[in-house]
Structure 1
Amino acid sequence: MGGESRFMGLAYVMPYIVGLLIFTAFPFLYSFYLSFTDYSLMSEPTWVGTKNYEKLFTRDRTFDKSLKVTLIYVFSTVPLKLAFALFIAVILNYRLKFINFFRTAYYVPSILGGSIAIAVLWRYIFADTGLVNMALAVFGIEAINWFGDPTNALFTITLLRCWQFGSAMVIFLAALQSIDKSLYEAAWIDGAGQWQVFRHITLPLITPVIFFNLIMQTVQAFQEFNGPYIITEGGPLKSTYLLPLYIYDKAFRNFDMGYASAIAWVLFAIVMVLTLIAFWSSKKWVYYAGDKRS
């Protein structure tokens, strides 16, 4: 009976294991091998050693520009998105009329935001004759060239990323609702104000969730592709040319799969290093239940 149960369990998980090995593990490891080759999809990979990485770090100005833009994008969108998601979650944690409707309405952008249709819509909203400039004209403000100016172009795709705060908000909301209400009651009896309660009770208790959202949103931000590709195509002057766009161009426009794999592995290394730093720093600011800290 025990053997049959183990066999049935293995049979149930086998499709996942096979899919993981074929569609995730093998491409992952094979791309690492390709990063040391010259491979154009039209011929067999040729081993070139570390030449792709040497070119990447010493002669590729486009990579330098793309890396800078990517870091600016990530370190702008992640804090703004998390702050806004937490702010909305705190509001939606109150027992308000039609609260379920508002929770659903605020979550919808996270479902639609990554789609091609929303990216196209975003491009029209910020066009020269789009809704944003029409609204500014009502107040006598001249139309802004959102896509022609490098700073404005990066701002538009950053704003799109921040608009997709629904998933982080839902996780924050679940964390807020799990906090013991007696802690708030005790603080109010002692005369604590709203800000003091939020700072000394709410924030410390939800730091594990903040940490989780921080990691997830950082990884996702480094992988952003649809918005910049559809809205600006990396322009103007490569001001929105994130590393995923550069990888795509090298791999599927220039057919330089070896070099694209090298860029992808550098991107993976950056994400891994930042994640390890976040885990190291979490010992100083993330508080779990049962922690005893002086």
Structure 2
Amino acid sequence: MDRKAELGAFLRSRRARLSPEEAGLPRFGGRRRVPGLRREELARLAGVSTDYYVRLEQGRADNVSDEVVAAVAAALRLDGPERAHLHRLVRGAPARPAGSAGPAAPQTVRPGLRRLLESMPGTPACVLGRRTDILAWNPLYAALFTDLDALPAERRNKLWLLFTHPQWRDRFADPEAKAACLTSFFRLERGRHPDDPGYDALVAELSAQSPRFRALWAEHEVCDSTHGSWTLRHPAVGEVTLAYETLRLPDDPDQLLITYTTEPASPSESALRALAPPLPVDA
């Protein structure tokens, strides 16, 4: 990832979405040539010179202070994930351990975590890795979405499936909202791994395959999708509304355990129970 180019594009996209009125500035003159705030307006709000802000947006302010970064973030009204993303773009992600240069090693899921997935037959769950790779899942998760065992290992990837696999996309009652959410989460994760070429390779592949992905990627949105809900439309059981929780493993922050639950005694609970594989009968 070209961190300086990414920094400039991110700052420009954040300026473009904020109008002078929203920022508390008077609007002078007639038609504006740029959407949102001008550079000089953003600099005034952040309390820095226009030249200093221009150098930051161009990736040339290597010694910018944390106070200036915080002031720019406040002026742009960035939320928590956006602030973290901006800080990584300015400072760079934490250095990887010595001897770990080059592509990251393939991820593996420890046996205890696989047993945890298997111990929840009534709860769809998966383990997500870097680049939104689906590393492990239980049968009910596959029953909800698709037979992941039938896919090549390199295509067991949430972002790829959402933009190229019609069955996966059609599961969502609001696929556009899901696409925007997952793309912004992927950009946030990419900022955490600027030296992993796999992220940029996936972006290039999807940009060539999907005009919708190209459009969303150009928006430079970021979010940390830790919890929420999605409504699925399953051909066998109809609509299922699922609340999800995303838990980052404390000893491996590049792996996420994602679980899905339904409201008790709801139609969604009944639908999910109908999809669940039968429990083994004790001998």
TM norm. shorter chain > 0.5: no
Higher relative contact order (CA 8 A, sep 6+): 1
Q: Whose helix fraction is larger, Structure 1's or Structure 2's?
A: 1
Q: Whose strand fraction is larger, Structure 1's or Structure 2's?
A: 2
Please identify the structure whose Cα radius of gyration is greater: 1
TM-score (norm 2): 0.24
TM-score (norm 1): 0.23
